[in-house]
Amino acid sequence: MPSDTGSSAPHHDLDPEPQSVEEQLASVTLSVSDGQPSTHQETNGVVLESVNQNTQLVMEEQLQHISVPAGEIDEVRESADRGVVWGRTASEVDMDGLSSPSSSGYAGERGSSSETSGSVIGDVVEQDEIEETRNDVIVDEVSESRTPWLPAKRHVDEDDASISWRKRKKHFFILSNSGKPIYSRYGDEHKLAGFSATLQAIISFVEDGGDCVKLLRAGKHQVVFLVKGPIYLVCISCTEEPYESLKGQLELIYDQMLVILTKSVNRCFEKNPKFDMTPLLGGTDVVFSSLIHSFSWNPATFLHAYTCLPLAYATRQAAGAILQDVADSGVLFAILMSRHKVVSLVGAQKASLHPDDMLLLANFVMSSESFRTSESFSPVCLPRYNPFAFLYAYIHYFDADTYLMLLTTNSDAFYHLKDCRIRIEAVLFKSNVLSEVQRSLIDGGMHIEDLLVDPLTRSESSSHLGQHKPPTESLERLKEPYLGVGGPAGLWHFIYRSIYLDQYVSSEFSSPINTPRQQKRLYRAYQKLFASMHDKGVGPHKTQFRRDENYVLLCWVTQDFELYAAFDPLADKASAIKACNRVCQWVKDVENEIFLLDFIAPSVSFRYTLQE
C-alpha cells in the first residue's frame, strides 16, 4: 500500500453524526408511497443541482404531490411525481438481485474477492436501512409473494454493522445505468442492489427530464454524480470537500476501471443492458480501495501532476539513458518508479503519457501484490492515451520499492521486454542507481527546515537538495522525531507544481504537521484552495492569502507554476510572502535534482516575485 503519511491502516471515516444521507434518501423513497401532498416547501433540506436547471423547475411544479414525513426530512424537491418511477425501479432491481447469485460467474470468485476486501477495507459492513426502504416501496407496488424469494441473508440481523456502514464519512459507488451495483467502497456490492436502485432512480429521473444530475445536498452530506455512458459513479460524502474535488475523484475511479477493462466494456451493456459487471472486476477491490485511500494522502490526485524521487542529476541521467536505449527498440513507455515517485521516464511519445495515467498505473501495480511475486506481463489500458485499447505491460520489481514498467502495443513482446529489463538492471546496478534510490527514500525530499533565511549562504553548499547539514545528519533527524516548529516565517509545508513539466514537488512533513490526520487535513485544505484557484474565469496571475484557526494558506498561481504553502496561523503576511519567494528560488536552485528535465520544455522559470 503506498503511503507517504505513514498510516498503513485504511481510514474508516467514521462519522460521529448518526443522521446520514442514506437515511435521508430513505425518507425520500418512503415518502413516495404515502402519496400525500407536501406541506414543507420552504425549507432547506435536500437541494439538487444539475447541468441545466430545468429539472428544478419540473420538480417545483410537482411538489404538491409529495408527502414529507415531518421531522425526517424538510424538503423533498427531487422526488416529485415519482410513485411510478420508484416502484418500477425497485421491482426491477428485486428481480436482478434474485438472478445474480446464479449468474455471477464462477464459484470461488465471491470467496476470493471478499477475502481481498476483508483484508484491505477492514470491516466489510452491510446496511439494512436500504433493504427496509426497498421492501417498503415494494409492498405498495409489488405483490407480497416476492418476499419469500429474497435471499435469506437480506434479513440477517446486522445492526452493528449497518450502523457503521451508515456512519462512513465517504462512500463511493459504481453502478450500471440499469441500477446494478458494480463497486462499493464499503459493504458487499451484491447486497447493495436496493441502494443502487435508489441512486439509479435519481439519475434516471433527472435524465428523463433531459437534464443531468450533478449534485444533491442533504444536510451536511453531498451526493455527487458522474455519468459515463452506461456507467454511473456516485460519491456520498460529509467531508466538506468541494464538488469539483469529489467529481475529480469519481473521474479517477472511472479511469482506474478503464485501466483494468478499457472502454470497450460499454459494448457489454449495448448487448445486454442488465449485464453484471462485477465478475469482470474480480479481485480488484484492493486497486480501488488503495486509490480512494490516496485521495487523502497523495496530492497527485488533485494536482494532476506527478512527482519525482529526488536524485542527483547524474544518477537520474544514468537511469534515463538506459531507458531511452530500450525505448528506441520499440518500447512505447519505459517507466522506473519507486513507490509513487518517478525515478525516470522515457517514451516513444513521452508527451502523451498523462500524469493521471501514471498515477493510475502506479496505483494498479503497487496495490496488486501479484506483481511482486515475479515478473509479469499484463494488459493495461492508459485511459488518457487510448481508452479503447489495451497496452501490454511488463512489470518487474527490483526491490521492495522500485519497479520497472515497460509498455508496448505488441502482445508478443514479452521476451524482448524481459531482455530489456535484464539490460536495464545491469546498468542500474553498475551505476548504483538502485542504492541511490534507496538512500533518497530514507533521506526524503525538501525539508522546510533547510530553507535558509539568507539565500546567499546556500550557494556555497553543494549537498543533497541544498541541505546545509550533511546527509548523515538528516538520517539522524529521521530516527529521532524532529522537534522544531517548521521553517522560517512559520512555514509548515509547501507544494510547488510546475505547469510545463506536469510535475510537482512537495516538502517533507515535519512538526507540527506530523500525524496522518493532520496531513490529510492539510491536503484537504490545499485541495479546496486548488479547486477555488481553478474555478472558471481565473486569470493567469493570482494569489490567495487565507487565515483560519488551523493555518495561514498562501497560494500563488502564475503561467509557469503554482505554489501552495501552509504557515503557522499566526504567521506574519509579509514574512510569509518573503518565504514563498524563497521557496521558489530554492526550487529553482535544486530543479535538477527534484524534476525530470530532459525534454524540450523550458525548465523551472523564475521571473516572478510575489509582492504584498
Contact residues: other proteins, CB under 8 A: 105-109, 111-112, 115-116, 119, 260-261, 279-283, 286, 368-371, 373-379, 393, 411-412, 414-415, 418, 422
Residue 278 vs 344, nearer CB to other proteins: 278
Residue 422 vs 538, nearer CB to other proteins: 422
Residue 332 to residues 325, 329, 361, 373, 408: CA-CA distances in angstroms? 12, 9, 14, 24, 5
Residue 149 vs 415, nearer CB to other proteins: 415
Least Cβ distance, residue 317 to other proteins (angstroms): 27
Least Cβ distance, residue 266 to other proteins (angstroms): 14
Number of other CB atoms surrounding residue 588 within 10 Å: 14
| CB-based contact 490:570 (threshold 8 Å) | yes
Least Cβ distance, residue 112 to other proteins (angstroms): 5
Least Cβ distance, residue 122 to other proteins (angstroms): 15
Residue 222 to residues 46, 49, 238, 329, 407: CA-CA distances in angstroms? 9, 11, 6, 50, 39
Residue 250's identity, in one-letter code, is L
Residue 119 vs 435, nearer CB to other proteins: 119
Residue 430 vs 546, nearer CB to other proteins: 430
Least Cβ distance, residue 108 to other proteins (angstroms): 4
How far is C-alpha 70 from the chain's CA centre?
38
Residue 22 to residues 122, 193, 281, 499: CA-CA distances in angstroms? 21, 14, 25, 40
For 64, phi and psi rounded to 5 degrees?
-65, -15
Residue 390 to residues 265, 362, 363, 407, 595: CA-CA distances in angstroms? 12, 16, 17, 10, 29
Least Cβ distance, residue 399 to other proteins (angstroms): 15
Residues 6+ apart with CB under 8 A from 135: 147
Residue 90 vs 393, nearer CB to other proteins: 393
Residue 319 vs 381, nearer CB to other proteins: 381
Residue 210 vs 279, nearer CB to other proteins: 279
DSSP string, 406-467: EEES-TT-HHHHHHHHHHHHHHHHHTTHHHHHHHHHHH-S--GGGS-SSGGGGGG--SGGG-
Residues 6+ apart with CB under 8 A from 115: none
Residue 116 vs 127, nearer CB to other proteins: 116
Least Cβ distance, residue 216 to other proteins (angstroms): 32
DSSP string, 436-449: HHHHHHHH-S--GG
Residue 242 to residues 89, 215, 228, 300: CA-CA distances in angstroms? 31, 11, 21, 17
β-bridge mates for residue 311, sequence order = none
Residues 6+ apart with CB under 8 A from 479: none
Residue 411 vs 432, nearer CB to other proteins: 411
Least Cβ distance, residue 212 to other proteins (angstroms): 29
Least Cβ distance, residue 383 to other proteins (angstroms): 16
Least Cβ distance, residue 282 to other proteins (angstroms): 5
Taking each helix axis as running N to C, give the angle between helix 313-327 and helix 414-430, from 0 to 180 degrees, rounded to the nearest 10.
160
